[in-house]
Amino acid sequence: MVETPKTYKDLPSTPITFFTTEDNKTGTWRTIRPVIDKEKCTRCYICWKFCPDLSIEVEKEGDYPNVDYDHCKGCGICANECPSNAITMEKEMEK
């Protein structure tokens, strides 16, 4: 019989995953997604700076940011930090 751990400290020291974040596509977790309005976007890249999942991509300076929906979890930090309110969080469409 396997004993149930009492706290997280009782768990064995093993990796949770053997892949990098680039290999783990987590976009299916989302219920809402960020959408960038390029007419409002000032290309300040604050969304890119604050994205915890590196899901905001900028190919080269001067380009508009794009969202990597394969890895974006829909946390909304980019929309919250955008000073020009160019990012809205929209309900994820059912697949």
What's the whole-model pTM score?
A: 0.75
In angstroms, what CA-CA distances link 24 with 20, 31, 41, 71? 7, 18, 29, 8
Residue 3 lies in a domain: no
Asked if the structure places residue 16 within a domain, the reply is: no
Within-domain flag for 36: yes
Q: Residue 39 pLDDT more than 80?
A: yes
Residue 95 has pLDDT above 60, yes or no: no
The answer on pLDDT for 80 being more than 80 is yes
- Is 43 within a domain? yes
More reliable by pLDDT, 8 or 56: 56
Encoding tokens for residue 19? 């892949």
Query: What percentage of the chain reaches a pLDDT higher than 90?
Result: 61
Residue 1 lies in a domain: no
Q: What is the mean pLDDT of residues 10-28?
A: 72
Residue 35 covered by a domain: yes
Determine the structural domain holding residue 76 and report its residue range. Answer: 25-91
pLDDT of residue 2: 67
Q: How many domains does the chain have?
A: 1
- CATH code of the domain covering residue 75: 3.30.70.20
